Amino acid sequence: MSKPWQNHYEKSVPAEVVIPDIPMHRALEETGRKMPSQTATIFMGARMTYKQIKDLADTFAAALASLGIKKGDRVAIHLPNCPQFVFAYYGVLKAGGIIVPTNPLYVERELESQLKNSGAEVILTLSKFYPLVQKVRARTNLRHVIVTNIKEYFPPLLKVLFTLLKEKKDGHRVAIARDGQTHLLQDLLKHYSPGQAPKVENTPGDVALLMYTGGTTGIPKGAALTHKNLLSNTLQVRAWFSQLQEGKEIILTALPLFHSYGMTTCLNLGVQAGAALVLLPQFIVKDVLKTINKYRPTLFPGVPTMYVAINNYPEVKKYNLRSITACISGGAALPVEVQAKFEEITGGKLVEGYGLSETTPVTHCNPLFGLRKSGSIGVPVPNTMAKVASLETGEELPPGEIGELAVKGPQVMQGYWENPDETAAVLRDGWLFTGDMARMDEDGYFYIVDRKKDMIIAGGYNIYPREIEEVLYTHPKVQEAVVAAVPDEYRGETVKAYIVLKEGQEATAEEIIEFCRGKMAKYKVPRLVEFRDSLPKSMIGKILRRLLVEEERKKLPKAT
């Protein structure tokens, strides 16, 4: 199989990365040994070194072993970005456990479903979420609940202020059960030391983590990722950041660490390269700008909505953002206009990449300092094969033709947890069939046309929402846009655009439709336009097109 994309790698990016046969948690052990005093995390102004994080990870591993956790047992981490997430992540791996990262925004039904499917026996959660965990506890396999408070790793003054404000707001503290199966993290850690960490023989092929997909195609499934998957993708991404300096980078960590994108490009990359992680529990644009201005991060992995928010912040020029050197955008298409404006503001490089939870997640990226192509997800990263496959035969299609993107590499999951049927549907002969419609050009650059399930079929024509969204983002009044299919009696489906205007701007549906008419074929032009104050988004900021489609379907008469 030819690999034309390798001709466009930067000179310092290798075609193949050597993946050592070691478990993922060795990365923290090595960095803690080589750079013990290097800053590992910055959280609400408080700094922790790599030695402190490593010692806490080892201590947490010892605590888990005392609770009966052994190799292969699942441990859920139900936290936002905070130091506890970092050391617990590596502590679970050290103990031989399998991490189950869990979205703190889950409601009762979602949390129960994930805990049941994974069979998690221990969960580490915030005191704020403890009542929710208690509600589902009896209906799951949970044997132990460990409770922490986000303020535990605040600097002293902020800790006091946070406590006063929280108690004033809530009026009370959450009552924690004293039943022998519920533990306060700080109290639990006091009983153990780093030297008591269990000696578990983890191999590269052992499952390390269950990364649950977003559920856009149905019930969320747990992608079983091995130690080799995690380490491979970490080293692939590190190779792509060709100018990365070990021990000198600062990563703005606004992506949630419980998501595969934040896990690899922030947490694991940061730890492996000895970078400082500036941890933000949530993306609030003003807080992000203040953080960049104060801590001078060099790397900022994100999603397009983050860069859009920064570009359109009215007072963005008040902040010095020039420390940023490199950003990879994922999760959704990166509009060209957004890329250009962000680079102008920061002076750094912003390129579009691509990946899935099933691939740990990164498989493609545009070169940061080489040839990049607008609208493209770039080329396969080292050690990765990719092809565009026929929907009918699965055979590879020639450049220029549209089919389903399939990928193969050391970052591809082992399969879906305890779900052989779904696994067989997407994994064939080592190739992962992504469900995304794509094409490849003669240079080996890939272009996502759209998801198979998002394609709009109107009057017999195949219409891809991404193409229309790219045009909408060039309108000077548009801040955010998404396109979806809505039922149509005549055409079967028709095109509807949902738009958020920039602050202070006004527009009409006719204006938007007329703008599109001169830039695309008539059958692609939106027939309907709806203006909104905001668009539904996932925790990482990805616009959720499916929720808009569901809204439209609920409006239909039941017979329809």
Nearest residue to 153 via CA among 266, 277, 270, 30? 277
Share of the chain above pLDDT 90, in %: 77
Q: Averaging pLDDT over each range in 103-107, 288-292, 521-525, which range is the top one?
A: 288-292
Mind spelling out the 3-state secondary structure of 453-513? HHCEEECCEEECHHHHHHHHCCCCCEEEEEEEEEEECCCEEEEEEEEEECCCCCCCHHHHH
469 contacts: CB under 8 Å, gap ≥ 6: 333, 335, 481, 482, 483
Whether 514 shows a pLDDT value over 60: the answer reads: yes
**Rounded Cα distance, 444 and 106, in Å:** 39
Lowest mean pLDDT segment, chosen from 129-133, 285-289, 363-367, 464-468: 464-468
Residue 558: per-residue pLDDT: 54
pLDDT one-digit tens code per residue, 322-377? 999 999 999 777 888 899 999 999 999 999 999 999 999 999 999 999 999 988 99
Whether 48 shows a pLDDT value over 60: the answer reads: yes
Nearest residue to 78 via CA among 56, 97, 103? 103
413 in Cβ contact with 360 (< 8 Å) = yes
Rg of the Cα atoms in the chain: 24
CB atoms within 10 A of CB 441: 14
Residue 523: per-residue pLDDT: 85
pLDDT one-digit tens code per residue, 79-101? 999 999 999 999 999 999 999 99
250 contacts: CB under 8 Å, gap ≥ 6: 275, 276, 278, 295, 296, 297, 298, 299, 323
Residue 135: per-residue pLDDT: 96
Query: Does some domain include residue 516?
Result: yes
Query: Does some domain include residue 471?
Result: yes
Residue 12: per-residue pLDDT: 95
pLDDT class of 173 with cuts at 50, 70, 90: low
Structure tokens at 353: 């990449």
pLDDT one-digit tens code per residue, 207-222? 999 999 854 344 679 9
pLDDT one-digit tens code per residue, 200-209? 999 999 999 9
pLDDT one-digit tens code per residue, 438-456? 999 999 999 988 776 787 8
Residue 166: per-residue pLDDT: 61
pLDDT class of 392 with cuts at 50, 70, 90: confident
**Rounded Cα distance, 356 and 260, in Å:** 8
CATH for 479: 3.30.300.30
Query: Does some domain include residue 530?
Result: yes
**Rounded Cα distance, 354 and 81, in Å:** 23
Query: Does some domain include residue 433?
Result: no
DSSP notation for 51-62: HHHHHHHHHHHH
Q: What is the mean pLDDT of residues 281-304?
A: 96
Residue 115: per-residue pLDDT: 97
350 contacts: CB under 8 Å, gap ≥ 6: 307, 327, 329, 334, 339, 342, 343
Residue 217: per-residue pLDDT: 42
Higher pLDDT: 491 or 388? It is 388
Q: What is the mean pLDDT of residues 143-167?
A: 81
**Rounded Cα distance, 392 and 407, in Å:** 17
Residue 154: per-residue pLDDT: 87
Residue 168: per-residue pLDDT: 52
Higher pLDDT: 172 or 469? It is 469
Query: Does some domain include residue 538?
Result: yes
Query: Does some domain include residue 100?
Result: no
Buried b (16+ CB within 10 A) or exposed e, 182-191: bbbbeebbee
Q: What's the CA dihedral at 146, 151, 152, 157 to 10 degrees? A: -170
Whether 270 shows a pLDDT value over 50: the answer reads: yes
pLDDT one-digit tens code per residue, 10-31? 999 999 999 999 999 999 999 9
pLDDT one-digit tens code per residue, 57-84? 999 999 999 999 999 999 999 999 999 9
pLDDT class of 559 with cuts at 50, 70, 90: very low
Q: What is the mean pLDDT of residues 278-282?
A: 96
- CA 389, 446, 302, 56 dihedral sign is positive
Q: Residue 547's domain spans which residues?
A: 459-554
**Rounded Cα distance, 295 and 408, in Å:** 38
DSSP notation for 294-337: HH--SB--B-HHHHHHHHT-TTGGGS--TT--EEEE-SS---HH
Query: Does some domain include residue 374?
Result: no
The pTM of this model reads 0.85
Q: What is the mean pLDDT of residues 313-322?
A: 97
Query: Does some domain include residue 88?
Result: no
Whether 560 shows a pLDDT value over 60: the answer reads: no
Q: Three-state DSSP class for 79?
A: coil
Whether 171 shows a pLDDT value over 50: the answer reads: no
The end-to-end CA distance of the chain, in Å, is 48
Whether 416 shows a pLDDT value over 80: the answer reads: yes
Whether 489 shows a pLDDT value over 80: the answer reads: no
Q: What is the mean pLDDT of residues 263-279?
A: 98
Residue 260: per-residue pLDDT: 95
Share of the chain above pLDDT 70, in %: 95
Structure tokens at 301: 């992995």
- Number of folded domains in the chain? 1
Q: What's the CA dihedral at 470, 476, 481, 485 to 10 degrees? A: -70
Cis-peptide into 361, omega within 30 deg: yes
DSSP notation for 13-58: S-SS----SS-TTHHHHHHHHH-TTSEEEEETTEEEEHHHHHHHHH
Structure tokens at 505: 């701007």
Residue 278: per-residue pLDDT: 98
